[in-house]
Structure 1
Amino acid sequence: MDTSLEVAKQKKVDFIWLGVWDQNPGAIRFYKRNGFKIFDKHTFMLGTDMQTDMMMKLAL
């Protein structure tokens, strides 16, 4: 996480975003504790199973 944030800041980007499986509450809590906010969700097929990722964004 620290390296990703440092690289993003060096590149002077406005934000970073990621997708995290909605059935992974530990990861969602981790990202929220690190300042990420849910801004959307994305559904997709993984084999024959419909999956949903929470899209999370951190303004820099």
Structure 2
Amino acid sequence: QALAVAQERGASCLWLGVWEENGRAIGFYRKNGFAAFGSHVFRLGTDEQTDILMKLPLRGS
């Protein structure tokens, strides 16, 4: 549904963050056209975690 809403609103891309240790999710998103473009460190309690930022170009961008 996020993809449909983004397209409906004329967004140029759809992006998300996925935990760097979640290889299955990263593979799924890559298989569906997303590409990594950066990372973001966040805290989960006292533990630092890293998300891989991925985006899917829309509208031929």
**Same fold per TM (> 0.5)?**
yes
Note the C-alpha offset of 1:6: 1.2
Which of 32, 37, 40 matches 1:39?
A: 37
Q: Give the equivalent residue in structure 1 for 2:21.
A: 23
Residue 9 (structure 1) aligned with residue 15 (structure 2): no
Residue 53 (structure 1) aligned with residue 59 (structure 2): no
Tell me the number of residue pairs that the alignment of Structure 1 and Structure 2 aligns.
58
C-alpha distance after superposition, 1:2-58 (max 9, x if no partner): x22111111110001000000100000010011000000011111111100000011
Output the TM-score relative to the length of structure 2: 0.90
Q: Distance in 2 between matches of 1:37 and 1:53?
A: 13
